Every structure is written in structure tokens, then in C-alpha cells.
């Protein structure tokens, strides 16, 4: 049996992972393993090969040891336990015997070879040109990736602008309005009167986007629109509201229930909905009713409904504090991302393909979980084009891997360490989120390598914060 150019895989103890989302362990993985690539490509700049040979005597000895064990364990009709002939074991269990011999000889010799050459693989080694026959020398090549040398000299010269993070009165008012709106009651206005500021108009509408293109017909010049009409049923519009367009305020103010209106709206170029930005839309609107919103009294009783607050003043103080923290965190995270982006531009180095593929899979897995939460069925997920999905994630995955490797290197330079107390707090939080007992969670993560991944990710996050405080001005 000749086996040339055979490719197999090992999982040596020195294998390294890049798991950038340490919370992933708390979720089940969706069934897309059948689409995973086998024997992934290696980055040529980081690929190393070693040649390994094991003497014929040692190969024969290993075959004999494994065959003897199978003779003792095999249960074959017509033969007593432990008395199965060696020739029958070798023929009936040829594949299994060969695999065990391969694992026992290759793993040990591979580790010895990389130790001698002071190499540290970061990908699963791929066995090439494997030749394994009883009584003959075992020969193989192993190809794998090693980590790149990353020179981060000058990282402390990157300039970072600290954003102004104080909460404005307008932002606080908007935050409070969202809270109040969530507890408001909407009642119909029974009296026959026109809409006034402060009312809510319940409307039905149809809007046609007026394109620049025009055509001449017997009826005159007409605009031609290829856009789908904009429609809405039972939509509430606040008359005079800060978020209501001027054209709607002017058209609806003074109208009564049952009245039909026609008017045009010129949307500004920076309008939030891209489809409408810079467009002119002709609307047909019917006022179906007038509504009035009632808000609860801003007192201690309402404050207690909103949480563990003794007074309305205490609630407002905490609301302002939480809103300020959210704004500060959002702006600082954006500034940190910009800082990390500058590091990626500044420091160029080859990235192990194994890390990239792991990150692509992590991103894909998160995307599938999101689709599942939105109601997508597993059978529909299996119909997705996984090759295209992986390709679309590659650039982002490469960038994320580079960021992690840069942070790991700078952490070494800066001497950033993670305390066991920090790790325990994170595990406690994960335990609460996943509703899994803390000790059970810790044991599981220790066994599957998740604990090391969490520790790595927390150290990276801490390094990013240390750098931001050091470089921001």
C-alpha cells in the first residue's frame, strides 16, 4: 500500500489559538462544521517544514505492541478472548492499527524535532509525503506556521485625541424623554377639533419619490420615478415635535380627523435614512385620528416604579450619571479603535493563516447565532453560501488578528499583567450571565482551554486601556 503526498493533521501541545471573543464559550455552536475547510492554506512567509525519520526497528516494535493489544481486546466470533491470531488482527484492523502506530510515533518525533530546532508552531502541522509500512523506516515532512517577529518600536509615539465626553443638556433631555415616552399612555381625543402642537396625529400615508428625470406627455411634463412608494398605516406623528419634519408640522397643524392632505417634503442631504436623503417626496396623507399622550407625574412614586430610587431627584441624578458613562465609554472606545487602527497601519508583519481562519470561524459563528435569535431555522442556515460568507469576513478577521498580536507584543513591553482577582470577577459575571454555577464554569473552561483564552482577551483589553491613558491628550 503506497501512500505518497498524503496529508494528515496533528494537534501538538504547543498549538496556539486566537479567540477574540471570550464570551463565545457560553453559547452553543451551530451546525455548520460540514462546511469547514480541511488542511487550510498556510502563509508562505511563516511556513516552516521539518523532515522526520523513524528507524525500521522502532516502527516494527510499535506495530507489534499495538497488534498485541488488539489481540487481547478483539472480540471475534469463533475465537476465544485474547486468542485472536495476529494475522487476522493485522488484516481486520489494519486501518485502526496503522492509525495508532502513526499517532504514537509521529507525535513524539514531531515534538522532539521542533524542540531540537527551537520552533514553536502556531498552526496544526500538516503531514506531507508520509510513508509508513511495517518493517520499513517511517518518513514524513511536517509543514506548519510559526509566529511572526513583531517590532512595535515607536508605539508610544502614536498620538491619540481624547474626545470631549461631557453630557450636554440636550442629550440628557433626549435620554429623559425616552424614559418618559416608554411609560406614557396614548388616548384618543374625542372632541371635534383641529390638530394643535402637542397632539399626535394618527395618519396613513403614501409617498412617491420624485426623480430628477422627467418626460413629456399629452398631459404635460411629468416626473418619472423608479423607486418603490413609501407607505405607512397608523403612524403617530407629534405636531411641533423636535423630531417631526417642518413640512409635516405645517401640513398637519390645523387638520381634522378624516381629512386628506397632499404635500411635498424636501429631505436634507444629511437625512438619517439614506433612501430619502436629498430626495423630494410627494405625500398623500389621511388623518385617521387625533391622539394625546399622557405622562406620569415626576414624583417619588414614579421614581420607585423605575427602580430602587427614593425620590425623583435621585432617579434623575442616576440617569444623568448612567447616560454620561455610556457616552464616555462609547467615545473612548471609538478613540481606542482609532488608536489600534493606527497601530495596524504603522506595524506591518505577516499573519498566520491559522489565526485568520479561527477568527473567520468565530465571526461566522456569532453571525449564525444572531440569525438564530432572529428566528432563522437551522435548515435554512445550511442553505447559506458559507464560502462567500467566509470570504466576506476575511479582511475584518485579518485586522482583528493583527490588533490582538500587536496588543500581545506591547503587553510584553509594557509589562501588563492580569490579576487573579480580575479573572475571578470576570468568571463571576459570566457565571451570572450563563446561569452556570461558578465552580462548574471554571472547571469546564479549564478543561477546554477557555480559561486561557479569557485571560488573553482580558489582558489585551487592559493593554488597550493602558495605552489609551498613556497616549491620549
3-state class of 50 per DSSP?
A: strand
H helices of 298-352, in order, are 300-306, 312-346
Work out the burial of residue 40: count CB atoms within 10 Å of its CB; fewer than 13 is exposed, 13-18 middle, 19 or more buried. Answer: middle
pLDDT in the model for residue 243: 85
Mean pLDDT of the chain: 86
Is 132:138 a contact under the CB 8 Å cutoff? yes
pLDDT in the model for residue 144: 95
More confident residue, 10 or 278: 278
**Average pLDDT over every residue of 278-302:** 93
Of the candidate ranges 7-21, 135-149, 326-340, the one whose mean pLDDT is the lowest: 7-21
pLDDT range class, residue 217, cuts 50, 70, 90: low
**Average pLDDT over every residue of 332-359:** 95
Paired strand residues for 143: 49, 126
H helices of 253-311, in order, are 300-306
Same fold, 186-294 and 332-471: no
pTM of the complete model beyond 0.85? no
**Average pLDDT over every residue of 199-226:** 70
Q: What's 37's DSSP letter?
A: P
**Average pLDDT over every residue of 192-212:** 90
pLDDT in the model for residue 39: 60
CATH architecture of 332-471: Orthogonal Bundle (1.10)
**Average pLDDT over every residue of 131-153:** 92
pLDDT at 7 over 50: no
Domain 47-145, classified CATH 3.30.70.1050, yes or no:
yes
pLDDT at 183 over 80: yes
Sequence-distant (≥ 6) Cβ neighbours of residue 164 within 8 angstroms:
331
Is 163:472 a contact under the CB 8 Å cutoff? no
Of the candidate ranges 3-17, 294-308, 449-463, the one whose mean pLDDT is the lowest: 3-17
pLDDT at 28 over 70: no
CA–CA separation, 195 vs 439, rounded Å? 62
Every domain of the chain and the residues it spans: 47-145, 148-184+297-331, 186-294, 332-471
Angle 189-191-193 from CA coordinates, rounded to 5°? 95
Is 226:211 a contact under the CB 8 Å cutoff? yes
CATH of 186-294, one of 3.40.50.720, 3.10.50.40, 3.40.190.10, 3.30.2290.10: 3.10.50.40
Sequence-distant (≥ 6) Cβ neighbours of residue 149 within 8 angstroms:
349
Amino acid at each position: 500500500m503506497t501512500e505518497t503526498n498524503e496529508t494528515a493533521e496533528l494537534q501538538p501541545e504547543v498549538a496556539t489559538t486566537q479567540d477574540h471573543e471570550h464570551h463565545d464559550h457560553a453559547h452553543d455552536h451551530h451546525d455548520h462544521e460540514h462546511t469547514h475547510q480541511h488542511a487550510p492554506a498556510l502563509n508562505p512567509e511563516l511556513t516552516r517544514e521539518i523532515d522526520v525519520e523513524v528507524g525500521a526497528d522502532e516502527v516494527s516494535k510499535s506495530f507489534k505492541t499495538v497488534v498485541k493489544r488488539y489481540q487481547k481486546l478483539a472480540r471475534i466470533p469463533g475465537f476465544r478472548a485474547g486468542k485472536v491470531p495476529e494475522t487476522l488482527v493485522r488484516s481486520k484492523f489494519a486501518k485502526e492499527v496503522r492509525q495508532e502506530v502513526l499517532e504514537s510515533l509521529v507525535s513524539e518525533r514531531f515534538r522532539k524535532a521542533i524542540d531540537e530546532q527551537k520552533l514553536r508552531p502556531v498552526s496544526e502541522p500538516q503531514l506531507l509525503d508520509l510513508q509508513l509500512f511495517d518493517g520499513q523506516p517511517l518518513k514524513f515532512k511536517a509543514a506548519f506556521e510559526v509566529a511572526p517577529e513583531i517590532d512595535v518600536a515607536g508605539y508610544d509615539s502614536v498620538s491619540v485625541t481624547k474626545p470631549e465626553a461631557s453630557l450636554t443638556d440636550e442629550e440628557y433631555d433626549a435620554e429623559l424623554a425616552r424614559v418618559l415616552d416608554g411609560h406614557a399612555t396614548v388616548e384618543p381625543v374625542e372632541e371635534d377639533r383641529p390638530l394643535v402642537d402637542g397632539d399626535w396625529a394618527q395618519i396613513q400615508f403614501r409617498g412617491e419619490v420624485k426623480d430628477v428625470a422627467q418626460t413629456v406627455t399629452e398631459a404635460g411634463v411629468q416626473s418619472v420615478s423608479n423607486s418603490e412608494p413609501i407607505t405607512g398605516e397608523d403612524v403617530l406623528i407629534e405636531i411641533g415635535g423636535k423630531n417631526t419634519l417642518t413640512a409635516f408640522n405645517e401640513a398637519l397643524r390645523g387638520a381634522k380627523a378624516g381629512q386628506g392632505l397632499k404635500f411635498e417634503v424636501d429631505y436634507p442631504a444629511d437625512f438619517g435614512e439614506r433612501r430619502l436623503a436629498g430626495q423630494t417626496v410627494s405625500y398623500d396623507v389621511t388623518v385617521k385620528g387625533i391622539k394625546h399622550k399622557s405622562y406620569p407625574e415626576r414624583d417619588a412614586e414614579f421614581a420607585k416604579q423605575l427602580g430602587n430610587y427614593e425620590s425623583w431627584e435621585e432617579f434623575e441624578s442616576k440617569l444623568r450619571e448612567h447616560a454620561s458613562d455610556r457616552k464616555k465609554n462609547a467615545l473612548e472606545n471609538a478613540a481606542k479603535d482609532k488608536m489600534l487602527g493606527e497601530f495596524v497601519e504603522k506595524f506591518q508583519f505577516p499573519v498566520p493563516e491559522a489565526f485568520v481562519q479561527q477568527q473567520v470561524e468565530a465571526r461566522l459563528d456569532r453571525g449564525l447565532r444572531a440569525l438564530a435569535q432572529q428566528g432563522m431555522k437551522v435548515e435554512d442556515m445550511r442553505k447559506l453560501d458559507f464560502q462567500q460568507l467566509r470570504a466576506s469576513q476575511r479582511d475584518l478577521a485579518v485586522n482583528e488578528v493583527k490588533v490582538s498580536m500587536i496588543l500581545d507584543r506591547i503587553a510584553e513591553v509594557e509589562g501588563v499583567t492580569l490579576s487573579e482577582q480580575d479573572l475571578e470577577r470576570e468568571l463571576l459575571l459570566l457565571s451570572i450571565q450563563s446561569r452556570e454555577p461558578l465552580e462548574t464554569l471554571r472547571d469546564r473552561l479549564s478543561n477546554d482551554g477557555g480559561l486561557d483564552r479569557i485571560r488573553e482577551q482580558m489582558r489585551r483589553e487592559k493593554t488597550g486601556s493602558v495605552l489609551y491613558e498613556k497616549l491620549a491628550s
